[in-house]
Amino acid sequence: MDIRIFKNEAEIGAAAGKLFCDFVNEKPDCVLGLATGATPVPTYNYIAEQYAAGKVSFKDVKTFNLDEYCDLPKTHKNSYYTFMIENLFSKLDLNLDNVGFLDGNAADPEAESARYAADIASKGGIDIQLLGIGRNGHIAFNEPADEFTGESHKIKLTDSTIEANSIYFDDIPMPRYAMTMGIGSIMKSKKIVLIATGASKAEAVKAMINGPVTPQCPASILQQHEDAVIFLDEAAASLL
Ligand code: PGA
């Protein structure tokens, strides 16, 4: 793991955002794996600024997002699709036909998972996958478990995740299920960039980096990825 520690989330946004923009400039038709949540927002803001300044174009870029809630309309204000439109896609020249998302309302989650894996493979696989980490060590919605997950699947969210994310749901109860890329799918990405900011992530970061590789801390699997870059602020790195 290539661990990089920064003062604050603004510095990380600039550094991680630059990494993505440089990559897109090198490979304009690349495949990006994207994440939602509070963590990637400074990175997305930096990318949008670079686009607005004419420094990078996303017109041939393809994207796949990590996860989506079940039982929530795709266009609901809390869907992850809406999050991506608002926080990134609407600010770029990205073609929405090139945006890949798991369908959280798919009648047959297994068929949906197979479709997603085939779609990613047909585009050549994910070049760089952006990740956050949950307070419980989850990546995407792969919660602590007895085994590492494989490809995409439907998952029941844990109490820790529901507690962390329910602050965003003011009109309806937060969904209890989600569709997520599995650990196996994430590990196929050629490069992984994980960002963790804030003291609430310090325990999970310590377990990911210094602990054993165990499905009880799903992010610990990244110790086995050959090109994983970890961006931390000082608070998230405070227990290392
Ligand atoms: P956050 O979520 O960026 O909102 O903290 C990260 C995650 O749960 O993976």
pLDDT in tens, 187-203: 999 999 999 999 999 99
Determine which helix (DSSP H) or strand (DSSP E) holds 131, and give its type and residue range: strand 128-131
Least confident of 9-18, 50-59, 152-161, 189-198: 152-161
- Please say whether the beta carbons of 126 and 27 come within 8 A: no
Please list the residues that pair with 214 across neighbouring strands: 217
Whether residue 136 lies in the annotated active site: yes
pLDDT at 64 over 90: yes
Ligand 1 nearest-atom number relative to CA 200: 5
What local confidence, expressed as pLDDT, does residue 60 receive?
98
- Please say whether the beta carbons of 170 and 197 come within 8 A: no
What local confidence, expressed as pLDDT, does residue 161 receive?
86
pLDDT band at residue 69 using 50, 70 and 90 as cut-offs: very high
pLDDT at 171 over 90: no
pLDDT at 164 over 90: no
pLDDT band at residue 133 using 50, 70 and 90 as cut-offs: very high
pLDDT band at residue 150 using 50, 70 and 90 as cut-offs: very high
Residue from 131, 133, 231 to probe ligand 1 pocket by mutation (most atoms less than 8 Å from CB): 133
Ligand 1 nearest-atom number relative to CA 161: 8
Determine which helix (DSSP H) or strand (DSSP E) holds 46, and give its type and residue range: helix 41-52
Q: With a threshold of 0.85, does the pTM exceed it? A: yes
DSSP state, 173? P
- Percentage, residues of the chain above pLDDT 90: 95
CB of 37 closer than 6 A to ligand 1?
Answer: yes
110 C-alpha vs ligand 1 centroid, how far in Å? 25
